[in-house]
Amino acid sequence: MYGMNPQEGDRRLIEAGMALASELSLDAVLLRIVELAVDLTGARYGALGVLTPDGRSIEEFITVGITAEERAALGDPPIGHGLLGALIREARPMRIPDIGADPRSVGFPPNHPPMKSLLGAPITGRGKVFGNIYLTDKQDADAFDDEDERVLVVLATQAAVAVENARLYDETERSGRELQRLQVLEERERIGKELHDGVIQSLFAVGMHLQGLATATDDDNISRNLESAVEDIDHAIRDLRNYIFGLRPGILADRQLDQALKEMATDFAARSGVVTVVDVDADAASRLTSRAADVVQIVREALSNVGRHGAATTCRVSVERNAAGLVIEVDDDGQGFDVELTRSGMGLQNLQERVGSLGGVFQIESTPGEGTTVRATFPS
Amino acid sequence: MFARYFVELPIPADDVERALSRDPRGWIPGLAEQANFKGDRLLAEVGFGEAIRLRRNVIVEIGKPIHASSKSFFPLRWTASGHTGLFPALDADIEVASLGSYRAQLAMSARYVPPLGAVGRTIDRALLSRVAEATVKDFLDRVGEAIVGERATIA
């Protein structure tokens, strides 16, 4: 597209302005600016240096014309020495026919492709320089000319508007997300109030009543059954309270993750008769501290499945760190099942969704008659 | 297991809520001055009443209150700070409801884990229940006294 006459250049600039206007995210706009600048001027290489808030150095450097490998070989991105720094300080278009011959040049780092001619222009909006466009190596001539500079200055002006639009868009998006978050919190608060004032109070009353009956009866069997029902109600209330108050699961209070899991396993073994062992790697547990409540909930659901469906005699809960990440596993020797046929049942979907929502990977391995392994893997 | 107890206080519900919303050192009974006061974790003493108070230290955690239409709930959890012995871990709500312009009901609905694990489940449940009820009663009576006493001091 280079080597064009001014009319053609203007037409291309209008198209470029429209192309920029169609981009909404800031990252996409920045890359598009460099691509258009390279295209419009016939440069071999292009870059855009976003300046730090104080406008004195480069904090982000977007490039076109070199591969990711070539860029990686250059090491750290430039921060604004030499001619790049000169453009930052002077904040006006710069056209250099031979970079190496300019006294302000400080040379290139190792592995840098050779570059000769340079054309640069600042992107200025609201009286402040946002960044600079750098173009090098005019492909069909020894150096950039007046028309290239004119085109780049106009493009930089359009770019400033596009950057401002993208920033406003990002800000609007963030505000929208924040508003949505606040609405969710408000709704959660409302649901919490209703649950607490109604459901929990009713459950508590039923629990008290059943507890009284359990104490009053002389029949041990009935008493045990009533107490079991009281415990179930107690757990239901605890879960509701945890949801409402955003508390960690009760079992986590004043306990480390490994202790909490061991306590849960002991309780599960006592209730289900399944011999349960817990093997927690301390390093993995410490890395999961911020997600401890979720880990407890995942293991609780997995154990619940073992108790209800597994027909297992032994079960192992493990937390470890390996090449795949932080791995939580609940493994039993029960009856197993056909994973393909039972994928959505048995509470597996809940587990899958919970793990997925936390950025983890959920896996299940099971064969009829050979037990089941439920695994959640999180990035370490 | 469940326990519930309530008292009536001769002050408006709003005043009770305000008192419970202030520094817990003002209303948690027997809170030691040298207690480990970090955020909402406090060390307090609880027992069965004046006659046989155990002066057992517990760690108390207080959650953010919920203001529902008919009452307000102040979530609370305590766990024994050292050897648990006969003392249960307990989750509770302290509830405040208005009984007109000048009176309030202060209630505590508590759920507790029987002490001594599996052994605790096999010993006299009625006794355990009475211990928990006595503990809750003693605690709430003293919370009520502290709130009313503090208001009288301010007045």
pLDDT digit string, tens, across residues A178-210: 888 788 777 877 887 888 888 998 999 999 999
A345 pLDDT tier (thresholds 50, 70, 90): low
Rounded to 5 degrees, φ, ψ at A52 are -65, 160
Q: What is the pLDDT of residue A137?
A: 95
Distance from CA of B68 to the nearest CA of A (A): 5
Q: pTM higher than 0.80 for the full model?
A: no
- Phi-psi category of A123—alpha, beta or left, where left has phi over 0 and alpha has psi -120 to 50? beta
Amino acid at B28: I
CB B92 within 8 A of CB B111: yes
Specify the range with the lowest mean pLDDT, choosing from A97-101, A373-377, B84-88: B84-88
Question: Can you list the alpha helix ranges (DSSP code H) found in A195-256?
Answer: 201-216, 220-245
State residue A193's pLDDT score: 81
**What single letter denotes the amino acid at residue A178?**
E
Residue pair B129/B48 in contact (Cβ under 8 Å)? The answer is no
The pLDDT assigned to B95 comes to 94
The shortest C-alpha distance from A364 to chain B (Å) reads 33
Residue of A nearest to B74 (CA): A245
pLDDT interval class at A93 (50, 70, 90):
very high
Checking if the pLDDT of A253 tops 50, the result is no
Instruction: Give the model's pLDDT for residue B88.
Output: 59
Answer positive or negative: Cα dihedral of A189, A191, A197, A202: negative
Of B73, B111, B129, the CB nearest to A196: B73
What pLDDT score was predicted for residue B107? Answer: 95
pLDDT band at A20 (very low <50, low <70, confident <90, very high): confident
| Interior/surface letters A296-314, b for 16+ CB within 10 angstroms, e for the rest | bbbbbbbbbbbbebbebee
Instruction: Tell me the mean pLDDT in the region A66-70.
Output: 87
Strand pairing class (A275-280; A314-322)? parallel
Is B64 within 8 Å of A207 when comparing Cβ atoms? Answer: no
Spatial distance between the Cα atoms of B96 and B93, rounded to a whole number of angstroms:
10
Out of B68, B111, B125, the one facing A196 most closely (by C-beta) is: B68
CA atoms within 13 A on the CB side of A293: 11
Chain B residues with CB inside 8 Å of A194's CB? 68
Task: Provide the 8-state DSSP code for A186.
Answer: H
Alpha-carbon distance A320 to A328, whole Å? 7
Share of chain A above pLDDT 90, in %: 25
Say what the ipTM of the complex is. Answer: 0.77
Is there a contact between B75 and A208 if contact means CB atoms under 8 Å apart? no
Reduced to 3 DSSP states, what percent helix, strand and coil does chain B have, rounded to the nearest 5? 30, 35, 35
Chain B contact present for A267, CB below 8 A: no
Q: What are the structure tokens assigned to A62, written together?
A: 């977007």
A290 vs B75 pLDDT, higher one? B75
Q: What per-residue confidence (pLDDT) applies to B36?
A: 33
- A167-171, A327-331, B57-61 — which is least confidently predicted? B57-61
Tell me what pLDDT residue A215 has.
84
In this complex, the residue of B2, B75, B121 whose CB is nearest that of residue A245 is: B75
Interchain proximity B68–A211, CB inside 8 Å? no
Q: What share of chain A is helix, strand, coil (3-state, %, to 5)?
A: 55, 20, 25
Say whether B125 and A208 touch across the interface (CB within 8 A): no
Residue type, B123: I
Write down the residue that tokens 């306990």 correspond to.
A255
DSSP string, A36-85: HHHHHHTEEEEEEEEEPTTSSSEEEEEEESS-HHHHHHT-SPP-S-HHHH
Residue B3: CB atoms within 10 Å: 23
Q: Which of A189, A191, A196, A224 to mutate to test the interface with B (most CBs of B within 10 A)?
A: A196
Contact residues on chain A for B77, CB-CB shorter than 8 A:
247, 250, 253
Instruction: Band the pLDDT of A101: cuts 50, 70, 90.
Output: very high
In chain A, the N- to C-terminal Cα span, in Å, equals: 48
Asked if A29 and A23 count as a contact pair (C-beta separation under 8 A), the reply is yes
DSSP string over B115-132: TTHHHHHHS-HHHHHHHH
Q: Does A98 touch chain B (CB under 8 A)?
A: no
Residue of A207, A238, A245 lying closest to B64 (CB–CB): A245
B contacts of A247 (beta carbons < 8 Å): 63, 75, 77
pLDDT on residue A248: 43
Q: Given pLDDT bands bounded at 50, 70 and 90, which one contains residue A331?
A: very high
Residue of A nearest to B110 (CA): A204
Give the pLDDT score at B125. Answer: 66
Asked if A105 and A99 count as a contact pair (C-beta separation under 8 A), the reply is yes
Please count the residue pairs, one from chain A and one from chain B, whose beta carbons lie less than 8 angstroms apart.
60
Q: Is the pLDDT of residue B119 over 70?
A: no
Mean pLDDT of the residues in chain A: 84
Q: Which residues of A24-44 are buried (b: 16+ CB within 10 A; e: fewer)?
A: eebeebbbbbbbbbbbbbbbb
In this predicted structure, the answer to whether residue A129 has a pLDDT above a threshold of 50 is yes
Confidence category of residue A52, pLDDT binned at 50, 70, 90: confident
Closest-CA residue of chain A to B70: A197
Residue A368's H or E segment, with its range, is none
> Mean pLDDT throughout B24-41?
49
Band of residue A344 on the pLDDT scale cut at 50, 70, 90: low
Q: Using the beta-carbon criterion (under 8 Å), do A227 and B125 form an inter-chain contact?
A: yes
B1 CB neighbours in chain A (<8 A) are: 211, 230, 234
Comparing CB atoms, the residue among B59, B66, B67 nearest residue A254 is B59
Q: What are phi and psi of A178, to 5 degrees?
A: -65, -40
Summarised one tens digit per residue, pLDDT across range A289-303 is 777 778 888 898 888
Region B64-83: mean pLDDT is: 77
- Compare all CA atoms of chain A with the CA of B63 and give the residue at the minimum distance: A245
Partner residues linked to B66 by β-bridges: B73
Q: Is the per-residue pLDDT at B41 higher than 50?
A: no
Average pLDDT score over residue span A252-275 = 75
Give the pLDDT confidence of A135-178 residue by residue, as tens digits.
Answer: 999 998 999 999 999 989 988 888 888 888 888 888 888 888 88
For position A116, what pLDDT does the model report? 93
Predicted pLDDT of residue A96? 94
Inspect the interface and report whether the beta carbons of B75 and A247 lie closer than 8 Å.
Answer: yes
Dist CA A6 CA A14 (whole Å)? 12
Segment among A86-90, B30-34, B76-80 with least mean pLDDT? B30-34
Alpha-carbon distance A315 to nearest alpha carbon in chain B (angstroms): 20
Q: Which of A39-48, A277-286, A360-369, B92-101 has the lowest mean pLDDT?
A: A277-286
Residue by residue, DSSP assigns A289-324 as: GGGHHHHHHHHHHHHHHIIIII--SEEEEEEEEETT
Query: How high is the mean pLDDT of chain B?
Result: 72
The amino acid at B10: P
Choice between A21 and A102, residue whose per-residue pLDDT is larger: A102
Tokens standing for residue B84? 């648990």
Measuring CA to CA, which residue among B92, B79, B41, B63 is closest to residue A263?
B79
**CB-based contact A196 B2, cutoff 8 Å:** no
Using CA atoms, how far apart are residues A86 and A219, in angstroms rounded to an integer?
A: 92
Q: Which residues of A touch B4 (CB under 8 A)?
A: 204, 208
Does A164 reach chain B within 8 Å, measured CB to CB? no
CB within 8 Å: B63 and A245: yes
- Measured distance between the N- and C-terminal CA atoms of chain B, rounded to whole angstroms: 40
Interface of B with A (CB under 8 A): 1-2, 4, 59, 61, 63-64, 66-71, 73, 75, 77, 79, 89, 91, 93, 109, 111, 118, 121, 125-126, 129
What is the Cα B23 distance to its own chain's centre?
A: 15
User: Among partner residues A192, A214, A237, which is closest to B66 by beta-carbon distance?
Assistant: A192
**Interchain contact, A234 vs B109, CB within 8 Å:** no
Pick the range with the lowest mean pLDDT from A106-120, A365-379, B140-154: B140-154
Which segments within chain B are labelled E, that is strand? 2-9, 41-46, 56-62, 66-67, 71-80, 89-98, 104-113
- Residue B73: CB atoms within 10 Å: 27
